[in-house]
Amino acid sequence: MDPVASTSDPDLDLFIFGATGDLSVRKLLPALYMAHLHGNLPAGARILAVGRQALSREGFIQQVLGGARQFIEARALQAEAWDRFEALIDYVALDATQAEDFVRLARHSRPGAQRVFYLATAPSLFTRICAHLAGAGLVDAQARVVLEKPLGHDMASARAINAEVGRFFEERQIFRIDHYLGKETVQNLMVLRFGNAIFEPLWRAPFIRSVQITVAETVGVGSRAGFYDGTGALRDMVQNHLLQMLCIVAMEPPVSLDPDAIRDEKLKVLRSLRPMGPAEIARDVIRGQYTAGTVQQRAVAGYLQEDGVPPDSRTETFVSLKAHIDNWRWGNVPFFLRTGKCLAERCSEIVIDFAGQPFSLFPDTYRSAGNRLVIRLQPEESVQLQIMAKEPGSGMKRRPVSLDLDLHTAFTERRAEAYERLLIDVIRGRLTHFMRHDELEAAWAWVEPILHGWAAQGDAPRPYAAGTWGPAASSALMARHDMQWSEEA
């Protein structure tokens, strides 16, 4: 984490649009409290909560901020710190479609303060809010805007958002947030790859056999059905989270740690993804939809029985696919991406399967086994390197064992949550862990043909029982390449 904020830092006015919404309550307000508790907000910080509800300041603090307390660890809730945090907060009721409301909002901002606008609203409001902020004189050369996903529904809408927001904010002022890029283990990938000489010579074909990236959830859509049914797993997870992790795994070493140097290399990866045609989509992309089942000993309803989901919905809650990066480093190495809801376990991980030996000297059942690097993001954060070792008392029989790095044990310092870390990056003006406009558009350019292919095929997602690892076709996708998902290996 950063050192304690200096009293010489400029005053900060942080505006949260959508402050009464779910994201604000569960993530943003708890993250800001933790940053405040540990001295990582500027001494002159204020938080201006902006929402549609006609609440007083006291009503907001009682109703919304009080609700955020349940998402903060009990040991971190210190009465004196909480009182000081409450004192930073004001609430402004505002209709985002009314320009005159923004003139009133401007009266709450201090002259000369650093302004950060966090848009935790529907993307359809992004351009209107930015236009009204500019019209009210709130956008200057030091202002910053944070855009929550989803950033568009397709390529055209993503380009429109980029163009319209770009009318009022320069690219250096725009922070497109992906909270997965704030996770400590994702950020540690850069050090793991480029700070350890033992990995870099082998981080390529033919030494790597395949790469798996999984983001598995045990929860269903819950109260998000209205949003989710118009989005689906491909837009909600693959287009942003999974492709961003793929970029960090696959990118070339940047020339420096400058944000644009890193983002330039990620962009090259996105532009090197092999486009998918109808045949590849039908063969290499699996989409599924959960049915009733049992998740961790809890009975759950199927997706079509969730409140707010149309009974004939064809929205996918699961996607697995095989991708290829057509460049010299990764030629012919398959990347298997997978994400889904109501799966068997909550798990986010990256698995690097190294190629096996061409010939085995040892009389055991692991003739084709190679080494495997498992980078676990959640629920725990760890790095495991699987090697082969001699089984005691067995002659020369081998068995896979793991060299484990538990990051929580290795580093005893407090580990900030992703949103806290990214909010501090915004305040400090660090763009490294935020998407640039051309990254966003390149990701959509690869994903959009899959959406079009599904529409042309017209078939429904494959059903899978809640509490499993998705449709059987997902395992079959791996089996065609003589491979297995990590939990099956």
pLDDT tens across the length of the chain (489 residues): 444 455 567 899 999 999 999 999 999 999 999 999 999 999 999 999 999 999 999 999 999 999 999 999 999 999 999 999 999 999 999 999 999 999 999 999 999 899 999 999 988 899 999 999 999 999 999 999 999 887 888 999 999 999 999 999 999 999 999 988 888 888 888 888 999 898 889 999 999 999 999 999 999 998 788 889 989 999 999 999 999 999 999 999 999 999 999 999 999 999 999 999 999 999 999 999 999 999 999 999 999 999 999 999 999 999 999 999 999 999 999 999 999 999 999 999 999 999 887 777 776 655 555 789 999 988 888 889 988 887 787 677 777 788 887 777 777 677 788 899 999 999 999 999 999 999 999 999 999 999 999 999 988 999 999 999 999 999 999 999 999 998 877
Question: Residue 129, exposed/middle/buried by CB under 10 A (0-12, 13-18, 19+)?
Answer: buried
| pTM for this entry | 0.92
Specify binding-site residues.
Answer: 52, 149, 179, 183, 217, 236, 341
Beta strands in 324-369 (DSSP E): 335-340, 347-354
DSSP class of 468: B
3-class secondary structure, 267: helix
What one-character-per-residue DSSP string does 59-108 give? HHIIIIIHHHGGGS-GGG--HHHHHHHHHTEEEEE--TT-HHHHHHHHTT
List the domain boundaries for the chain.
12-148, 181-417+437-488
CATH architecture observed for domain 181-417+437-488: 2-Layer Sandwich (3.30)
Active site residue 36: no
Q: Which of 36, 38, 132, 241 is catalytic?
A: 241
Superfamily of domain 12-148: NAD(P)-binding Rossmann-like Domain (3.40.50.720)
Specify binding-site residues for substrate.
Answer: 179, 183, 217, 236, 341
